[in-house]
């Protein structure tokens, strides 16, 4: 019973009721409707007759015929006479602690001044805009056509006057929560559903015999209007609000904040604000096997009951009573329900706040990014030691985070020392390569330590080659010292001889399989070399290899070390950060719109250039020193955590 079908059923019911009223007018003395105020409170107006001074009240909510506790006439009233529609009123400045999108501001009369005469409405106009009708009438024909007395005797007291209580629900979305289509649809449905739930909850106050409910709000018959506001938000918003409102720095599924002021003589009953995290509600709905709408309805009903004085936290008896009332309302409206005690047990298993108010950390999870706005347009991400774990694999959680970020229109750009085929091969294992993935031969990217940069449509926009004399010296050193070396030429790799370490570049690190050449002259005569890479133990590199080459190539090339067991020689004045800058200029993107994630010394310039630089905990000390944030390790899904925590 969601959305348009629900509305059409109500409209049909209203038209049938209107036809019945025209064809079968009510009898002269209709059955009085069930008063919402208690007899004692209703009879406090003074006068000789208690029945004459009783204020009869009826709630108008445009609810479905079954959405009522009382079988008496007038329990739900739906107007259908054609009238003019008033503009949507805005909230008074003090009506709520919150503000959000979805309402057109307009002037509203002061609560201290008498309300202006109401504007008429067409049938159900504003029905999906959260506005409720208001009118007053006199019940019974005797009050309208009272006969003049023949004899000088006192006139009988006037017939009791009936008022209709307007139920007004403001439904909105927090500004920081994106306009998710499902959430927007729920907002429209709640504009109908919340007043329906309010009607049943208020209708039950008269007959309420609950022992634990705060009865401060019991007589609503003296009000012209009852207002409540519902705000849908994400976990970050409700956690910050929970900290400010209750002093608890933890995430919670729903907050209800009362605005009721006892003994305030105004015609409007301000129940308060209900704040619901649709992010938490979505997780709970998935765990419990129902829809997000079902879960939001449950939380809205629970919020209304809390505003009316129910509190499940005070005792076991209070939890039973609010659960009983909650289930009664949900059953009356034919909505799905959830046992509150079971709900507390279920939510206690999650890393968010439970229904008993005890909270823990609220880390965003897979599927939750749709409730957040991205902070950056681009994420530049390294491969080895960053996106790849210690087994040179992309974990499922990292892949899901990249996929979800891309679905939120965040561009993922790989910036690595690897060749492009190696990146495509590694990401192909988690279905993230190709035209529908984050890397392909037609996508932008930075490869070979920034020496090859591809722009839009995968077009090469920058290439820098290593000096041939440096290449010759390195190849000769490899032959003489028996240190394995691989030379990179765009999408190809070359070596002077077979070696298990050379093979590991292909089988472990996904690089193109090295082609064995017979001589140095043959290699230099057939390929342009961008970089060369030595494979040695970490001790051998730090004690001998790196000191030797830093001195031997001074001014002609530079040494780069991305992995402890690999040493690279690249052209001078080049870096991965320089490649990032070239690509940003090509794409007309500011560094302020970029987040970068890396771990090695070759990532330092990239992290410094980006608006937010995240170094993983397994990274070098030099890299972590320049980073804005130190994330988890590459074996702890550090990329996913960085995306969930800082990119949205």
Asked whether residue 94 carries a pLDDT value surpassing 50, the answer given is: no
Structure tokens at 44: 């406090």
Q: What confidence tier does 163 reach under pLDDT thresholds 50, 70, 90?
A: low
Q: Indicate left, alpha or beta for 535 from its phi (over 0: left) and psi (-120 to 50: alpha).
A: beta
User: What count of other Cβ atoms lies within 10 Å of the Cβ of residue 585?
Assistant: 11
Which residues, 6+ apart, have CB-to-CB distance to 238 below 8 Å? 251, 252, 253, 254, 255, 275, 276, 277, 280
Q: Where are the domains of the chain?
A: 4-105+119-141+159-347, 374-463+575-647, 468-570
Could you give the CA distance from residue 136 to residue 267 in angstroms, rounded to a whole number?
13
Could you give the CA distance from residue 538 to residue 566 in angstroms, rounded to a whole number?
8
List Cα–Cα distances, 69 to 134, 196, 329, 399, in angstroms.
22, 11, 9, 51
Taking each helix axis as running N to C, give the angle between helix 235-246 and helix 278-288, from 0 to 180 degrees, rounded to the nearest 10. Answer: 110
pLDDT single digits (tens) 222-260: 889 999 999 999 999 999 999 998 889 988 999 999 999
pLDDT at 275: 97
Tell how strand 378-381 and strand 594-598 pair up: parallel
Q: What confidence tier does 112 reach under pLDDT thresholds 50, 70, 90?
A: very low
Q: Could you please state the CATH topology (level 3) that the domain comprising 468-570 is classified under.
A: 3.30.1240
Mean model confidence pLDDT for the chain: 77
pLDDT at 527: 93
pLDDT single digits (tens) 433-460: 998 899 999 999 999 999 999 999 999 9
| Domain 4-105+119-141+159-347 class in CATH | alpha beta
Structure tokens at 254: 């729903």
Check: CB of residue 194 under 8 Å from CB of residue 135: no
pLDDT single digits (tens) 505-520: 999 999 999 999 989 9
Determine which of 102-106, 246-250, 278-282 has the lowest per-residue pLDDT on average.
102-106
Q: What is the DSSP string of 558-618?
A: EEE-SSTTEEEEE-TT--HHHHHHHHHHHHT--GGGEEEEE-SGGGHHHHHHSSEEEEETT
Structure tokens at 135: 């009118």
**pTM of the entire predicted model:** 0.64
- Sign of the alpha-carbon dihedral angle for 538, 542, 543, 548: positive
Higher-pLDDT residue of 11 and 535 is 535
User: One fold for both 374-463+575-647 and 468-570?
Assistant: no
Asked whether residue 143 carries a pLDDT value surpassing 50, the answer given is: no
Q: What angle do CA 410, 415, 421 make, to 5 degrees?
A: 105
Could you give the CA distance from residue 107 to residue 446 in angstroms, rounded to a whole number?
56
Could you give the CA distance from residue 228 to residue 101 in angstroms, rounded to a whole number?
16
User: What count of other Cβ atoms lies within 10 Å of the Cβ of residue 123?
Assistant: 18
Structure tokens at 215: 């009865």
**Burial class of 180 by CB neighbour count within 10 A (0 to 12, 13 to 18, 19+):** middle
Q: Could you please state the CATH topology (level 3) that the domain comprising 374-463+575-647 is classified under.
A: Rossmann fold (3.40.50)
């Amino acid at each position: 019973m969601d959305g348009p079908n629900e509305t059409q059923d109500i409209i049909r019911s209203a038209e049938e009721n209107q036809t019945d009223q025209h064809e079968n007018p009510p009898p002269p003395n209709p059955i009085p409707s069930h008063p919402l105020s208690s007899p004692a409170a209703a009879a406090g107006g003074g006068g000789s007759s208690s029945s004459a001074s009783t204020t009869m009240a009826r709630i108008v909510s445009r609810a479905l015929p079954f959405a009522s506790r009382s079988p008496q006439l007038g329990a739900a009233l739906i107007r259908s006479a054609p009238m003019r529609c008033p503009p949507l009123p805005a909230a008074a400045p003090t009506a709520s602690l919150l503000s959000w999108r979805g309402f057109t501001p307009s002037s509203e009369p002061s609560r201290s001044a008498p309300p202006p005469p109401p504007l008429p409405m067409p049938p159900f106009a504003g029905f999906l805009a959260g506005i409720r009708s208001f009118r007053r009438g006199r019940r019974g024909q005797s009050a309208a056509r009272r006969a003049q007395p023949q004899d000088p005797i006192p006139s009988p007291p006037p017939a009791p006057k009936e008022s209709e209580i307007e139920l007004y629900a403001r439904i909105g979305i927090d500004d920081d929560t994106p306009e998710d289509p499902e959430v927007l649809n729920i907002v429209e449905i709640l504009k109908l559903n919340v007043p329906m739930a309010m009607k049943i909850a208020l209708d039950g106050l008269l007959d309420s015999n609950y022992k634990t409910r705060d009865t401060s709000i019991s007589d609503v018959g003296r009000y012209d209007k009852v207002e409540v506001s519902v705000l849908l938000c994400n976990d970050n918003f409700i956690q910050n609000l929970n900290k400010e409102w209750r002093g608890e720095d933890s995430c919670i599924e729903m907050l209800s904040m009362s605005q009721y002021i006892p003994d305030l003589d105004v015609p409007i009953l301000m129940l308060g604000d209900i704040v619901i995290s649709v992010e938490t509600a979505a997780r709970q709905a998935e765990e419990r096997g129902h829809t997000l709408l079902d879960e939001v309805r449950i939380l809205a009903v629970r919020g209304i009951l809390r505003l009316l004085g129910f509190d499940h936290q005070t005792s076991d008896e209070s939890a039973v009573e609010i659960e009983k009332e909650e289930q009664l309302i949900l059953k009356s409206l034919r909505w799905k329900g959830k046992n509150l005690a079971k709900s507390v047990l279920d939510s206690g298993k999650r890393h968010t706040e439970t229904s008993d108010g005890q909270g823990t950390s609220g880390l965003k999870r897979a599927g939750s990014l749709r409730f957040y706005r991205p902070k950056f347009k681009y994420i530049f991400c390294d491969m080895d030691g960053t996106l790849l774990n210690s087994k040179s694999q992309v974990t499922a959680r990292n892949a899901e985070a990249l996929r979800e970020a891309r679905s939120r229109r965040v561009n993922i750009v790989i910036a690595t020392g690897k060749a492009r085929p190696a990146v495509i091969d590694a990401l192909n294992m988690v279905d993230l390569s190709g035209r529908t993935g984050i890397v392909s031969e037609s996508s932008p990217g930075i490869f070979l330590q920034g020496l090859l940069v591809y722009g839009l449509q995968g077009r090469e926009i920058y290439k820098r080659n290593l000096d041939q004399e440096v290449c010759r010296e390195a190849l000769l050193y490899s032959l003489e010292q028996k240190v394995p070396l691989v030379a990179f030429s765009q999408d190809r790799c070359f070596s002077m001889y077979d070696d298990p370490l050379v093979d590991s570049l292909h089988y472990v690190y996904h690089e193109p399989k090295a082609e064995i050449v017979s001589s140095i002259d043959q290699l230099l005569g057939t390929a342009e070399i961008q970089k060369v890479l030595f494979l040695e133990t970490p001790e051998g590199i730090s004690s001998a290899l790196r000191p030797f080459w830093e001195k031997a190539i001074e001014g002609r090339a530079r040494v780069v070390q991305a992995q402890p067991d690999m040493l690279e020689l690249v052209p001078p004045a080049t870096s991965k950060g320089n490649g990032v800058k070239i690509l940003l200029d090509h794409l007309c993107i500011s560094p302020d719109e970029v987040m970068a994630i890396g771990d090695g010394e070759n990532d330092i310039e990239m992290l410094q250039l980006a608006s937010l630089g995240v170094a993983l905990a397994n990274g070098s000390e030099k890299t972590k020193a320049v980073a804005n944030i130190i994330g988890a390790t590459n074996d702890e899904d550090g990329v996913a955590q960085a995306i969930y925590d800082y990119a949205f």
